[in-house]
Chain A
Amino acid sequence: SAVISQKPSRDICQRGTSLTIQCQVDSQVTMMFWYRQQPGQSLTLIATANQGSEATYESGFVIDKFPISRPNLTFSTLTVSNMSPEDSSIYLCSVEGLAGDHQYEQYFGPGTRLTVT
């Protein structure tokens, strides 16, 4: 499976500011995803990061709030803009598995724990 790293691992931010989270993969992947996990909750898909085009957002998530970049097949960033305490969550990126037996599996980064005060 791919090795995925995220930066930062955690941060405490003031409301009204923005934070950019980086996701780096050790191999080229086609599909990259960003998820949010609010405290004590499950994961919710924010968007699919598409290489060379705009991200595809899920219902309830908009580009102005969560702009995403995908400059190449190994890297993506998620920005949480104009933060409020409700944005306090763990943000995780994931990538798809290899074709064949591991097709459709997803592998997750270690997550970024964000606290907004």
Chain B
Amino acid sequence: SQQGEEDPQALSIQEGENATMNCSYKTSINNLQWYRQNSGRGLVHLILIRSNEREKHSGRLRVTLDTSKKSSSLLITASRAADTASYFCATGGSNYKLTFGKGTLLTVNP
């Protein structure tokens, strides 16, 4: 069964606005990762946050992790049309296996 559940399923914003996507999961994790997928192509790794971390930044991306609530959020600041894609969270264990959520389809309108 799917471990992560993204919220919302779809998000439409204007260029320049911030986009926030949430992910909830059910069991204990070693890490949580966010990926981007453009139009059904390969996945691009965005950021990994470990279970002992609470916040991580990478460029315009900010990820938070709350292990007590079993949830994570991905914030994309100053969004661009090129950010239009599907975003997936994936929970990982020490065995390297990933369990993916259902994804959020982000549309950034010019």
Contacts and interface: CB of A to CB of B under 8 A. Distances in A.
Nearest to B94: A104
- Grouping DSSP codes into helix (H, G, I), strand (E, B) and loop, the A interface class, with mixed when no group exceeds half, is strand
B100 A111 contact: no
B88 A105 contact: no
A90 interface: yes
Question: On chain A, which size bracket covers the interface?
Answer: 20 to 34
Given A44-B100, A45-B97, A106 B45 contact: yes
B40 A113 contact: yes
Contact of B96 (A41, A43, A106, A108): A106
B80 interface: no
Nearest to B2: A42
B42 A92 contact: yes
10 contacts: A33-B96, A42-B100, A42-B102, A43-B43, A45-B97, A48-B96, A90-B40, A92-B43, A106-B98, A108-B43
Interface residues of B, number: 23
Given A104-B30, A104-B92, A43 B100 contact: yes
Nearest to B35: A108
Given A41-B102, A108-B35, 18 more contacts: A31-B96, A37-B40, A42-B88, A42-B101, A42-B102, A44-B100, A45-B97, A45-B99, A48-B96, A92-B43, A102-B48, A104-B48, A105-B33, A105-B45, A106-B45, A106-B98, A108-B42, A109-B42
Contacts, number: 58
Interface of A: 1, 4, 31, 33, 37, 41-45, 48, 90, 92, 94, 96-97, 102, 104-111, 113
A85 to B, nearest CB: 18
Given A42-B2, A90-B40, A113-B40, A48 B97 contact: yes
Interface in B1-17: 2
A10 to B, nearest CB: 10
Nearest to A101: B48
Nearest to B48: A105
